[in-house]
């Protein structure tokens, strides 16, 4: 058996003939539309005089709730949802059915990421006379200017409403926000949409959405498929730019890896383990590894998100700078240790100790450097004790501290 949802008319309004008619009309119209992006109606009936609709059970949330989740929805996902809205409406428009109430609460995002259009309750067949001219139906914040005026509408009214929803998805605000419904209806008919906050929407996509919101329907996209095709074309160009950005991030990762390899070699020479990297860099390495193998088709395998890549750049930049600073410190420490070893043999422990001190200051975590320094300190103390005893014998001390070779020859 399959699980279904049952929509029942509320008891206190089921006696209203207009509401009852609308309820049945929703079921009949939705029943004609079979598509992945339109909710499926299985049955229509009446129980004890109470109408009901049996439809598929959806799991997820309305678009409005989906967009309000704490985790930000990336632009790529929003574009896919927009395209799905257009594809669902295209099926209805092909049957000369106009939804007339496209809004976030009538769009349902399922847990698998697919979208369903809900509630054809005020939808109208092009040939129907059930809705009289002059009657305003719909939701003011998302309805078209012609719908707000109560005149005859066509598919371009749904295009306007879809554009208003897309604006809301991108900008996080309604295009014709107003303190009251009458004010909203006035803005829909006469005012330009509120400006999109700067920097959050690519200019090409903003122009596309603004076209859907033209007051003159002749200036909008003329079919929902025209709008769908423009969204697909934008997504294609956006993906190309994302590939370039992903390649740039991969190049940054390689440069960072090269510095890390040098740091690792220095630490190993100092007797330490290789340094770790941040979880973000570790995850980025795994995802970007595919670019090393097949940079041309990498995005077909790993769908990078623009926000994800842009977020990696400052992290990589900071980690790269930190790694470079570490490398310089380790190289300085290693140079000091190597010079100290040579000086210990050629000049004795006193000068060598100064270099060992410099190495330990540059790399205090190296136990190996600390151990070499301690051996040098012990040598200095031992030599100082010998010098003290020799100095007690008078001038012989000068002979011993002067030139070991000369003393031996005397």
Q: Which residues are catalytic?
A: 101
φ, ψ at 385 (rounded to 5°):
-65, -45
CA distance 241 to 303: 13
CB atoms within 10 A of CB 380: 15
Q: Number of helices (H) and strands (E), helices first, in the chain?
A: 15, 8
Q: Is the dihedral of CA 307, 311, 312, 313 positive or negative?
A: positive
How many Cα atoms are found within 13 Å in the side-chain-facing hemisphere of 141? 15
**Residues paired with residue 46 on neighbouring β-strands, in sequence order:** 51
Would you report the helix, strand and coil content of the chain in percent, each value rounded to 5? Answer: 60, 10, 30
- Give, to the nearest 10 degrees, the angle between helix 367-391 and helix 349-362: 160
Nearest-angstrom CA–CA distance, 149 and 137: 10
């Amino acid at each position: 058996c399959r699980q279904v949802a049952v929509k029942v008319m509320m008891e206190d309004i089921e006696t209203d003939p207009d509401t009852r008619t609308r309820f049945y009309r929703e079921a009949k119209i939705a029943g004609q539309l079979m598509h992945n992006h339109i909710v499926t109606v299985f049955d229509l009936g009446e129980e004890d005089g109470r109408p009901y609709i049996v439809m598929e059970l959806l799991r997820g949330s309305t678009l409005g709730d989906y967009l309000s989740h704490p985790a930000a929805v990336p632009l790529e996902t929003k574009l896919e949802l927009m395209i799905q809205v257009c594809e669902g409406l295209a099926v209805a428009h092909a049957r000369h059915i106009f939804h007339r109430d496209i809004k976030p609460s009538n769009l349902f995002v399922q847990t698998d990421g697919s979208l369903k259009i809900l509630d054809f309750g005020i939808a109208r067949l092009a040939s129907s006379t059930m809705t009289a001219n002059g009657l305003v139906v719909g939701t003011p914040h998302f309805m078209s200017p012609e719908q707000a005026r109560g005149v005859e509408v066509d598919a371009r009214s749904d295009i306007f409403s879809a554009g208003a929803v897309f604006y809301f998805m991108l900008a996080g605000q309604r295009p014709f926000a107003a303190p009251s419904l009458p004010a909203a209806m006035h803005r829909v008919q006469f005012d330009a949409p509120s400006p999109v906050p700067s920097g959050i929407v690519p200019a090409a996509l903003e122009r596309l959405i603004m076209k859907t919101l033209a007051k003159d329907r002749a200036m909008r996209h003329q079919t929902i498929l025209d709008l769908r095709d423009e969204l697909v074309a934008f997504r294609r160009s956006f993906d190309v730019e994302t590939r370039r950005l992903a390649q740039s991030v991969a190049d940054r990762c390689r440069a960072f890896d090269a510095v890390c390899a040098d740091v690792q070699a220095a630490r190993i020479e100092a007797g330490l383990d290789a340094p770790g990297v941040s979880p973000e860099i570790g995850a980025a390495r795994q995802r970007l590894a595919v670019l090393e193998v097949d940079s041309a088709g990498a995005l077909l395998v790993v769908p990078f998100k623009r926000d994800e890549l842009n977020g990696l750049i400052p992290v990589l930049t900071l980690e790269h700078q930190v790694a470079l600073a570490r490398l310089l410190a380790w190289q300085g420490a290693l140079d000091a240790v190597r010079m100290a070893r040579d000086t210990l043999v050629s000049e004795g422990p006193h000068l060598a100790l100064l270099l060992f001190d410099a190495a330990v200051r540059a790399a205090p975590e190296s136990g190996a450097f600390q151990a070499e320094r301690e051996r040098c300190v012990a040598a200095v103390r031992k030599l100082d004790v010998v010098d003290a005893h020799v100095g007690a014998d008078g001038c012989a001390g000068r002979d011993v501290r002067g030139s070991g070779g000369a003393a031996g020859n005397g």
